[in-house]
Structure 1
Amino acid sequence: MWRNSATLSFSSKLLSSASSINHYCFHYASAFSILSPNGVVEPVLSSSYRRFYSSSATPSPSPSSDSVIKLGFLADRSLGFRPLSSKARDAIQLARHYGRCYWELSKARLSMLVVATSGTGYVLGSGNAVDLAGLCWTCAGTMMVAASANSLNQVFEINNDAKMKRTRQRPLPSGRITIPHAVTWASSLGFAGTAMLACKASMLAAGLAASNLILYAFVYTPLKQIHPVNTWVGAVVGAIPPLLGWVAASGQISLNGLILPAALYFWQIPHFMALAYLCRDDYAAGGYRMFSLADASGQRTAAVAFRNCLYLIPLGFIAYDWGVASGWFCVESSLITLAISAAAFSFYRDRTTQKARRMFYASLLYLPVFMSGLLFHRLSDEQRGLADNPDRYIELSSSLQDVSEDDQKKKTRHFTGGPQARPPVAYASIAPFPFLPVPGP
């Protein structure tokens, strides 16, 4: 009993003295302690400390095995655990610091949204089969270019960000990274992403990426402090990535490939109008000339948002009429577009912060649902060809000898299209969308 209490007293004094000298020494000693064969807990020490303790300390009698004090977890000597050196800890902390700065400079979540739109465009333009390697290369190049544009945007707006509450803690205004470092990071990403798209996709896709980078960093960014038209220029910037993906997959720009870019363009206007209304005081403090700042009542801001929501309604009909998606997407697109239009109309009637926030959340929900529906109901090249050339099915069915004449007529009516097979966009062309093509006879 005396030996156990003496051992406990000695160990507690040893631990208290070690913690008073250096907290980190106690941390690593407790975490990486090992059990010796005679039952004594021995901390892992370097060779210099072992020589010091062996020459100065007098050996103590070995306690019994039941008096072992367990500190943290006990590691086996064969694993060879050693505490990290100060240089290793500094390297890890430095990597975490710059990793966090690069993440915030790139606006990673916004860049990933851009990648999602580009990937959706790639899948839509792929036809029957999707090249997964090409999709990955396109998404990686788009991510680099988007991160470069967002980083350059923060370099140019460092003084403005320092005046706004929601941006003053970014890496550049807070001084966590220098401007030359940020410029080097942005330039490297921009060149690497453009070169990747040129080599793995096409020169046209790389040209679209480089043009979008220039438009965002050197046109849209300074316009934010000059004129409210910056919102519409920013909408063009957001509409290019899905077109880039379509071009990377198909190698050309076609009318079918403009449906998703049009949706991105019209969607961004109500999305940014709601955000500008909610953050109008912050934008005013930062020196940004947003459309909502010259609209004290918010009526014009809400009207612009509602009008652009209405422009989204025909896109589902056009996607079906042009053979991009099936008829079910026509219905789904109409429903979600009416939902966001209802939220915009509610904001137009009652211009409050609550209604603006509701419209903002509705816009956040609209885009992923629209893109998911477009991908789920997309038509391959074979399905488009069968819909465009119904005579092909008639020839195949007439060659079958064991099929009755009545069955052939039913199949012919089904694929040639009577009044029920007429595209819904033909009826919508009369009203309320007079700008669509007039239905044929």
Structure 2
Amino acid sequence: MQSLGHLLLDLLALLCWHARLLQANMLAAGLAASNLVLYAFVYTPLKQVHPVNTWVGAVVGAIPPLLGWAAASGQISLNGLILPAALYFWQIPHFMALAYLCRDDYAAGGYRMFSLADASGRRTAAVAFRNCLYLIPLGFIAYDWGVASGWFCVESSVITLAISAAAFSFYRDRTTQKARRMFHASLLYLPVFMSGLLFHRLSDNPQCLAENPNRIIELPSFPEAVTESEEDDQKKKVRYVTAVPQRRAPVAYASIAPFPFLPVPSYVDQ
């Protein structure tokens, strides 16, 4: 009976997931399916096979915001890679701190973490510090690409230097206390980074729209079923949108649906 209950719950979850995908697009559906496969059949088995599981897990953790971007806009732009990049590089020092603090527990559980082959912790700390440094350019990239204002550069640099300082301190003095301090710094970094990206996002910038028409990564288009509500008779009908080439503005300035890190949508077909 318990197995039957689990099966029914799985079927219900799949039906709900499929229903939601019908309201998005094939690109978002593909990202969701690939992330599910990557997590369940690559990342999870790798935990007991090879330390590279941490980097694979970082990819898994970076895909969800990209999925949301694709669901809102139907495409992937370079602007949409800023938050996934932050999530990817942030996860490395975050989990390196955990791998060092819980290395005995990981060893007892049979998990092959990077810290298990690094008795001194030197390489673990070096990897954490290096990936903290990779976070520094993201604020400037967000400003250069017109996603956020100059204030975000300042805030992003400050919080990135703070987590980098904690990682460097751990590198110089590889103790449980320093590792825990780096872990706490990583917990503060992500909400502060995302809040700054939200509060300092830029509104529509026509000049940037005209100067940067090629920031969209071209991907295959698919016919989509689009449901529309009729105001007169409240009936719904389905029409199929043919995949035709069309010019779209960068997603950061013009999207189909609101997204926490985007300005008010102002999408206009040309």
TM-score after normalising by structure 2: 0.74
CA distance in 2, matches of 1:187, 1:222: 24
CA displacement, residues 32-72 of structure 1 (integer Å, 9 cap, x when unaligned): xxxxxxxxxxxxxxxxxxxxxxxxxxxxxxxxxxxxxxxxx
Q: Please state how far the C-alpha of 1:209 moved relative to its aligned partner.
A: 1.0
| Runs ≥4 residues deviating over 6 A | none
Distance in 1, Cα, partners of 2:44 & 2:184: 25
Aligned to 2:35: 212
User: Would you say the 8 A contact 1:228–1:291 is kept in 2?
Assistant: yes
Q: How far does residue 239 in structure 1 lie from its aligned partner after superposition?
A: 0.5
Q: Which of 99, 108, 112 is residue 289 of structure 1 equivalent to?
A: 112
**Residue of 240, 250, 253 corresponding to 2:63:** 240
Secondary structure of 1:264's counterpart equals: helix
Amino acid paired to 1:253: I
Structure 1 pair 238–343 and aligned structure 2 pair: CA distance change class (3 A): same
Name stretches of at least 5 consecutive residues in structure 2 with no aligned partner. Answer: 212-270
Instruction: Note if 1:348 corresponds to 2:186.
Output: no
The within-5 A match list for 1:6-85 is none
Change (3 A) 1:362 1:372: same
- Whole-angstrom CA distance in 1 between matches of 2:2 and 2:101: 31
Match of residue 90 from structure 2: 267
* Cα 1:320/1:354, change in 2 over 3 Å: same
Task: Tell me if the contact between 1:325 and 1:378 (Cα under 8 Å) persists in the aligned partners.
Answer: yes
Q: Is the counterpart of residue 367 in structure 1 residue 190 in structure 2?
A: yes
The 1:264–1:187 alpha-carbon spacing in structure 2 relative to 1, beyond 3 Å, is: farther
Can you give the 5+ residue segments of structure 1 that lack an aligned partner in the other structure?
1-176, 391-441
AA aligned to 1:331 is V
State the shift of 1:192 in Å. Answer: 3.4
1:185 matched to 2:3: no
Judged with a 3 Å threshold, the aligned counterparts in structure 2 of structure 1 residues 229 and 186 are, in CA distance, closer, same or farther, namely farther
Aligned counterpart, 1:337: 160
Give the match for residue 299 of structure 1.
Answer: 122
CA separation in 1, counterparts of 2:208 and 2:5? 55
Q: Cα offset for 1:201?
A: 1.7
Deviations 1:198-230 (A, max 9, x none): 222212112111111111011100000100000
Counterparts of residues 106-145 of structure 1 (less than 5 Å): none
CA gap 1:200/1:341 in 2 versus in 1, 3 angstroms: same
Cα distance, 1:326 vs. partner?
0.7
* Percentage of matched positions with identical amino acids: 82
1:234 to partner: Cα distance: 0.2
Check 1:355–1:227 CA distance in 2 against 1; reply closer, same or farther (3 A cut).
Answer: same
Matched residues in 1 for 2:64 and 2:11: separation? 19
Name the counterpart of 1:317: 140
CA distance in 2, matches of 1:364, 1:217: 25
Flag the 1:301–1:184 CA change in 2: closer, same or farther, 3 A.
Answer: farther
Cα distance change on mapping 1:218 and 1:180 into 2, 3 Å: farther
The aligned residue for residue 155 of structure 1 is: none
Is the partner of 1:262 in helix, strand or coil?
Answer: helix
Q: Distance in 1 between matches of 2:165 and 2:6?
A: 42
Q: Tell me whether 1:385 sits opposite 2:209 in the alignment.
A: no
Instruction: With a CA cutoff of 8 Å and minimum separation of 6, indicate the structure with the bigger relative contact order.
Output: 2
Distance 1:179 1:288 in 2: 27
Aligned residues of 1:276 and 1:290 also touching (Cα < 8 A): yes
Residues 239 and 320 of structure 1: CA distance in aligned 2, closer, same or farther (over 3 Å): same
Q: State the number of aligned residues.
A: 211
Distance 1:385 1:267, change over 3 A: same
Q: Are 1:197 and 1:206, in contact at CA under 8 Å, matched by a contact in 2? A: no
CA separation of 1:346 and 1:181: change in aligned 2, threshold 3 A: farther
Output the TM-score relative to the length of structure 1.
Answer: 0.46
1:161-214 Cα deviation digits (max 9, x unpaired):
xxxxxxxxxxxxxxxx9566446534542x235313322221211211111111
Amino acid at match of 2:9: W
Give how far 1:247 is off: 0.8
